Amino acid sequence: MAKVIMYTTGFCPYCKMAENLLRAKGVENIEKIRIDLEPKLRMEMMDKTGRRTVPQIYIGEKHVGGYDDLTQLDKEGELSALLAT
């Protein structure tokens, strides 16, 4: 199973929905980077992704995007294959 990293906050409903989808796909470990607890990490996230909102999700080395991007991958049948790498 590919490593999953998610930039998140403690109060983001989309982050929780993304986590639920990933867990439903069999992901047991999600490395969460809490940008609300360490604000300097928000700048890191923005520099790496070019986006300001959470969640920002990486599967392996690939930046997937946010929750909408994740669900789109799932609808297209690509999420499971990406997680399996």
In this predicted structure, the answer to whether residue 14 has a pLDDT above a threshold of 90 is: yes
Q: Shortest CA distance to 35 belongs to which of 13, 6, 8?
A: 8
Summarize pLDDT for 18-39 with one digit per residue, the tens: 999 999 999 999 999 999 999 8
Q: Say what the pLDDT of residue 8 is.
A: 98
Q: Say what the pLDDT of residue 85 is.
A: 82
Spelled out in words, what is the top-level CATH class assigned to the domain 4-84?
alpha beta
Mean pLDDT of the chain: 96
Summarize pLDDT for 62-78 with one digit per residue, the tens: 999 999 999 999 999 99
Q: Give CA torsion, residues 23, 16, 51, 85, to 10 deg.
A: 0
The residue written with tokens 């990406």 in the block is: 82
In this predicted structure, the answer to whether residue 54 has a pLDDT above a threshold of 90 is: yes
